[in-house]
């Protein structure tokens, strides 16, 4: 039976995340301390004792989820994936867990990604919205029909759940049209900007330089990447897809479908929460779901 390990993205953080790991494992504690050193501030203090508001800050959220996810995989006694994938930010966790990047380089890239995304958010007010109960093709068509604002599908999370991303005006107009087209819900999300849209272009350019400068190795198994939902093992391909990720949609539904087609029967979530298990269940109801 083939096992796929999956790594969550932004939104799966919670108060006290990682504290049990820190207290129960010397190996985990060493990695947490290393993370504090790399970031230049005590992220562990915010993870273990911080408020929801503090954990929501992009420069905290992204590294915190990455650290938690990777440490779980690193200390798992039987971590032997046949394939890995991560949702948005989680792709960095997946790459580190699969040996394509070191923990240090992965965390540095995640910190740079968070800072670059925050800067891009400040250039132009923008947002995202979750659209429930509508076919992907209808969402794509309505977004494409709005030409004087930016609004695009950003996350294909599972059948009947797509997140759109763009300017505030673009998302508001799309929401009205999508509700008129039969969407069960069109809910604006409490996020700082239009992730996975053309509005992230300044962040993509900034991150591209950091990704190209980082040391990548061939992973121990295929990594199913967000931009095309295909398995990759070649360093050049992995880097190119990772650079494209910030302005392209997260094809999570398609990634899970492809992993199942390639033989995945067990999906193990490595990270805080169980968000991905819920999504995988809606995409492939007959697979086994676990968490580390």
Active site residues: 88, 196
**Under a CB-based contact definition with an 8 Å cutoff, are residues 73 and 79 in contact?**
yes
């Amino acid at each position: 039976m083939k096992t796929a390990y999956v790594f969550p993205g932004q939104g799966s953080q919670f108060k006290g995340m990682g504290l049990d790991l820190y207290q129960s494992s010397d190996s985990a504690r060493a990695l947490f301390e290393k993370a504090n050193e790399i970031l230049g501030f005590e992220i562990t203090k915010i993870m273990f004792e911080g408020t929801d508001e503090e954990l929501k800050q992009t420069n905290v959220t992204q590294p915190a989820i990455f650290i938690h996810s990777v440490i779980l995989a690193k200390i798992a006694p039987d971590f032997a994936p046949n394939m890995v994938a991560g949702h948005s930010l989680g792709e960095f966790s997946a790459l580190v867990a699969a040996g394509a990047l070191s923990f240090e380089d992965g965390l540095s890239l995640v910190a740079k990604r968070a800072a670059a995304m925050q800067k891009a958010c400040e250039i132009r007010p923008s947002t995202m919205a979750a659209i429930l109960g509508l076919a992907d093709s209808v969402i794509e068509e309505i977004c494409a029909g709005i030409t004087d604002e930016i609004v695009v599908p950003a996350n294909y999370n599972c059948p009947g759940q797509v997140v759109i991303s763009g300017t505030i005006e673009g998302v508001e107009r799309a929401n009205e049209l999508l509700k008129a087209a039969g969407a069960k819900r069109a809910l604006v999300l409490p996020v700082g900007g239009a992730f996975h849209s053309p509005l992230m272009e300044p962040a993509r350019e900034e991150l591209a330089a950091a990704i190209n400068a980082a040391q990548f190795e061939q992973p121990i198994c295929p990594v199913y990447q967000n931009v095309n939902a295909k398995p990759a093992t070649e360093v050049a391909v992995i880097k190119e897809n990772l650079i494209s990720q910030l302005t392209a949609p997260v094809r999570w539904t398609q990634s899970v479908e492809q992993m199942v087609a390639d033989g995945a029967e067990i999906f193990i979530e490595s990270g805080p929460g169980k968000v991905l298990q819920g999504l995988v269940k809606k995409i492939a109801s007959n697979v086994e779901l676990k968490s580390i």
